[in-house]
Amino acid sequence: MSAMLRLFAHDLKLQLRLGSDLIAPVAFFVLATLLVPLGVGPEPNLLTRLAPGMIWVTALLATLLALDRLFQRDFEDGTLDLLALAPLPLEAIVLAKVAAHWVTTGLPLLIAAPVLGLMLRLDHGSYVTLEVSLLLGTPVLSMVGAFGAAVTLGARRGGALLALLVLPLYVPILIFATSAIGAAGEGLSPRPHLLLLASFFVAGLVLVPFAAAAALRNALE
C-alpha cells in the first residue's frame, strides 16, 4: 500500500513539475465549451438545454488529451520495465497511475465545470448533480483511458488510435451522466442514473487494473 502511495505521489510530482500538462486539459475544456454559444448563438433557453451535454462531451475529450503520455514516458525511458520487476503487482501500478491522472485532469474539470455551467445558463437545480456526475464519471474515464493507453503502448500512430478505441467505451458514461443532469433540470430524481454511474465506477475499479496490466505485460514482453 505504501509503495502504491509513493508511486502515486511520484507521478503527481512529475505531472506538477511539467506545469503545462496540468493546464492544457482544463484550458481545452473551458475553451471548447465556450465555442458552443459562439457556434449556436447565445439564446438562453437553447443553451440551458445544451449545457449538460456540451460540458460532458468536452470533459470527455479533455481527458483524452493527457492519456497518451500516461505510460508512454515511463515506457520509453525504461521506468516501466523496472516497475514491472518491482514486488508491487502491475495492477496496483495501474491504479496508482490512474489516480495520479485523475487528480491532474479529472479534478480540475470538476473545479471548472460550475463556472462553465454559469456561462451556459445551466439549470439552478442541476449544479449538485453535475458535480456528483463528474465526481463519479471522470475517474471511470481515467480508468478506461488507462486501459486504452496500455493497449496502444508501442503502437504506431498511438494518439488517434487511442481516441478510436476509448471513445466508444466512454459512451455509457456520457449517456447516464447527461441523463442524470437532465433529470435534475426537470425536477426529477437523478438518483437512478447516478447509481448506475457509481456501479460503473466500482466495476471499473475492479476490472480495469487487470485488463490494463495484461496489456502492459504484452507491451513489455
Partner 1 sequence: MTTARIPLLHRYANPAAFGRLAAKVLPWTTALAILLLGLGSYFALFASPPDYQQGESVRIMYVHVPAAIMSEVVYGMMAAAAVAGIIWKHALADLFVKAAAPLGAAFTFVCLVAGSLWGKPMWGAWWVWDARLTSELILFFLYLGYLALVDAFDDPQRGLRAGAILVLVGVVDLPIIKFSVDWWNTLHQPASLMTLSGPKVDPSMLLPLMLMIGGFMAFFVSVVVLRLESELLARRIRAWRTATSEE
List contacts with partner 1 (CB under 8 A). Answer: 147, 151-152, 154-158, 161, 164-165, 167-169, 171-172, 211, 214-215, 218-219, 221
The smaller minimum CB distance to partner 1, of residues 83 and 213, is found at 213
The smaller minimum CB distance to partner 1, of residues 95 and 116, is found at 95
Q: Say if residues 211 and 146 touch (Cβ distance below 8 Å).
A: no
The smaller minimum CB distance to partner 1, of residues 90 and 113, is found at 90
d(CA 200, CA 217): 25
In angstroms, the Cα distances linking 132 to 40, 99, 111, 143 are: 27, 18, 12, 17
The smaller minimum CB distance to partner 1, of residues 103 and 165, is found at 165
What is the nearest approach in angstroms of partner 1 to the Cβ of residue 204?
A: 11
H helices within 66-156, ranges in order?
Answer: 69-76, 79-85, 90-101, 107-119, 127-151
What is the nearest approach in angstroms of partner 1 to the Cβ of residue 202?
A: 14
Length of the chain: 221
d(CA 102, CA 48): 28
What is the nearest approach in angstroms of partner 1 to the Cβ of residue 9?
A: 29
DSSP state at residue 188: S
What is the nearest approach in angstroms of partner 1 to the Cβ of residue 98?
A: 15
